[in-house]
Amino acid sequence: MRSLTLAEARERAALLTVTSYAVELDLDQGAEVFGSHTTVRFACSTPGADSWVDLKARTVETVSLNGVDLDPADVVDGRLPLTGLEADNELVVAATMAYSHDGQGLHRATDPADQRDYVYGHLFLDAAPSVYACFDQPDLKAPYDVVVRAPLEWTVIGNGAATRTAPGTWRLATTKPLATYFVTVCAGPYVSVHDEHDGIPLGLHARASLREPLERHAAEIFDVTKRSFDYFHGLFGIRYPFGEYHQVFVPEFNAGAMENPGCVTFRDQYLYRGSATRDELLTRANTVSHEMSHMWFGDLVTMKWWDDLWLNESFAEYMSHRCLVDATEYADAWVDSSIVRKVWGYGAERSPSTHPVAGVEALDAQSALQNFDGISYAKGAAALRQLIAHVGDDQFIAGVRAYLTDKSYANGTLADFLGAIESASGTDLAAWSRAWLLTADRDTLSVRLEEQGGVIDSAVAVRETPADRPADRPHTFDVAGWTDGLEVARVTTTVTAPETRLDGLQGAPEPAVVVPNASDLTWARVRLSDRTLTALPSQLALVPDQQARAVVWSALIDGVHGATVSPDAFLDVVEAAWPHETNSSILTRVSAYSEHRIVPYFVPRPGQATALARLAASGRALLDTAPSGSTESLAAARLVAGASDDEALLRAWADGDSLPDGLQDDGDFRWIVVRNLAARGLIDVAGVESYRAKDDTLQGGLNALMCRASLPDPVAKGWAWEQLTGRHGRSNYEMVHLARGFWSAPDDALVADYVPRYFTDVPAMAEWVGEDALSRVVLVAFPKVFTEQTADLSARTLERDDLTPAVRRSLVDADAELREALASRATFGAAV
Residues marked as catalytic: 291
Residue 799 amino acid letter: E
Beta-bridge partner residues of 63: 70, 93
Nearest to 784 by CA among 601, 552, 631, 615: 601
Query: Crossing angle, helix 530-539 and helix 567-577, to 10 degrees?
Result: 30
Peptide bond preceding 123: is omega within 30 degrees of 0, i.e. cis?
A: no
Length of the chain: 832
End-to-end Cα spacing for the chain: 49
The SS3 call for residue 247 is: strand
Cβ 364 vs Cβ 370: under 8 Å: no
Burial class (CB in 10 A: 0-12, 13-18, 19+), 163: exposed
Burial class (CB in 10 A: 0-12, 13-18, 19+), 643: buried
Per DSSP (E only), the strands in 173-307 are 185-188, 191-197, 200-206, 245-250, 257-258, 263-267, 301-303
Cβ 335 vs Cβ 583: under 8 Å: yes
Number of H helices, E strands in the chain: 28, 28
Contacts of 789 (CB under 8 A, 6+ apart): 755
The SS3 call for residue 154 is: coil
Distance CA 22, CA 507 (A): 72
Burial class (CB in 10 A: 0-12, 13-18, 19+), 752: middle
Cβ 227 vs Cβ 327: under 8 Å: yes
CB atoms within 10 A of CB 700: 21
| Cα 831 off chain centre by | 35
Distance CA 551, CA 558 (A): 10
Distance CA 99, CA 105 (A): 7
Nearest to 231 by CA among 152, 289, 157: 289
Per DSSP (E only), the strands in 298-416 are 301-303, 410-412
Distance CA 361, CA 260 (A): 25
HSE, side-chain direction, 13 A CA sphere, residue 314: 25
The kind and range of the H/E element at 324 are helix 310-327
Cβ 401 vs Cβ 425: under 8 Å: no
Angle at 535 between CA 533 and CA 537, to 5 degrees: 95
The SS3 call for residue 619 is: helix
Beta-bridge partner residues of 297: 301
**What secondary structure letter does DSSP report for 601?**
I
Separation in Å, CA 389 to CA 335, 423, 475, 523: 19, 17, 9, 13
Nearest to 605 by CA among 497, 751, 460: 751
The SS3 call for residue 8 is: helix
